Amino acid sequence: MSILLDISKIDMVFPTPKGDFTALKEVDLKINKGEFISLIGHSGCGKSTVLNVVAGLYQATKGGVLLNNKEVTEPGPERAVVFQNHSLLPWLTAYQNVELAVKQVFKKKMAPGEMKEWIEHNLKLVHMDHAMHKRPDEISGGMKQRVGIARALAMQPEVLLMDEPFGALDALTRAHMQDSLMEIQDELNNTVIMITHDVDEAVLLSDRIVMMTNGPAATIGEILDVNLPRPRNRLALAQDVEYNRLRSAVLTFLYEKQRKVETIGQKADDSTTVKSNKENMKKHDVA
């Protein structure tokens, strides 16, 4: 497979009143066309910062991002973002919300009739064609998120960026959305980068799971290949030995390896503090 996206040794440093804060340190990842990548890690590990750099919302302090060998310097329609909040305009229907994105990207490329067909096609992809003329306050949370995904897909992005898109949904709706996303990716062969806190979701959906270390100076700790055959059925996978091995590997990284790292770091900090206190006491005694 060809490399579509090259995240090349990026650092991200934010100025604060107390000095510079290093959010990311040497994050390096190459993503192939059609891959589904999940970013997982504890809160504050820089997952959203990575996504924002790829989206062009942030400029990396060091390193950079290449999409099809072109440097990413600003947001663009080739990188569509789906947020945890659907971000639909409440006074517009589902159709009109998708239409806004389509007009922005294809206004000079599509005739009105083609545009109408394209909008309806993308709403049908997410099983929302039956409610295309309803406003957000007339549909459920899961349906709103489907419209948000349709809007993103309608831009024909080369990379679909998803920031915990199902985090606010109930378990049953979340499962339905995961199944829909697998169907869509199978049909369109999208390249997807998704942030999640859900281990089962990461294993179910991904080709690779990128596990982030805890911040500050967060980086990629491990990358886990998920070679489960597609299409994937959650009920069948529940008893699958390889599925459970992968699930265990992610949990071990998150709750054992990272805890050890934190403990070692805390001991080092405590040792430095004790040493500093002793030196200060010695100076005080001499004085």
Which CATH number fits the domain that encloses residue 10? 3.40.50.300
The answer to whether residues 20 and 132 belong to one domain is no
The answer to whether residues 175 and 142 belong to one domain is no
The answer to whether residues 44 and 9 belong to one domain is yes
The answer to whether residues 56 and 10 belong to one domain is yes
The pLDDT score that the predictor gives to residue 107 is 86
Whether 253 is covered by a domain: the verdict is no
Per the structure, the count of domains in the chain is: 2
Instruction: Enumerate residue ranges in the chain where pLDDT < 70.
Output: 1, 259-287
Measured CA to CA, the distance from residue 167 to residue 43 in angstroms comes to 13
The pLDDT score that the predictor gives to residue 84 is 82
The pLDDT score that the predictor gives to residue 272 is 47
Among 114, 124, 126, which Cα is nearest to 185's? 126
The pLDDT score that the predictor gives to residue 279 is 55
The answer to whether residues 125 and 198 belong to one domain is no
The answer to whether residues 56 and 183 belong to one domain is yes
The answer to whether residues 68 and 187 belong to one domain is yes
The pLDDT score that the predictor gives to residue 14 is 95
The pLDDT score that the predictor gives to residue 273 is 44
Burial class (CB in 10 A: 0-12, 13-18, 19+), 203: buried
The pLDDT score that the predictor gives to residue 196 is 95
The pLDDT score that the predictor gives to residue 282 is 52
The answer to whether residues 15 and 58 belong to one domain is yes
Measured CA to CA, the distance from residue 110 to residue 23 in angstroms comes to 42
The pLDDT score that the predictor gives to residue 2 is 83
The answer to whether residues 70 and 170 belong to one domain is yes
The answer to whether residues 124 and 199 belong to one domain is no
The pLDDT score that the predictor gives to residue 149 is 94
Q: Kind of pairing, strands 36-40 and 79-82?
A: unpaired
Q: Report angle CA 276, 281, 284 to the nearest 5 degrees.
A: 125
Whether 25 is covered by a domain: the verdict is yes
Measured CA to CA, the distance from residue 37 to residue 49 in angstroms comes to 15
Whether 131 is covered by a domain: the verdict is yes
Cα distance between the two ends of the chain = 69
Q: Among 156, 177, 203, give the residue marking a domain's end.
A: 156
- Domain hosting 205: range is 3-78+160-248
Whether 30 is covered by a domain: the verdict is yes
The pLDDT score that the predictor gives to residue 287 is 38
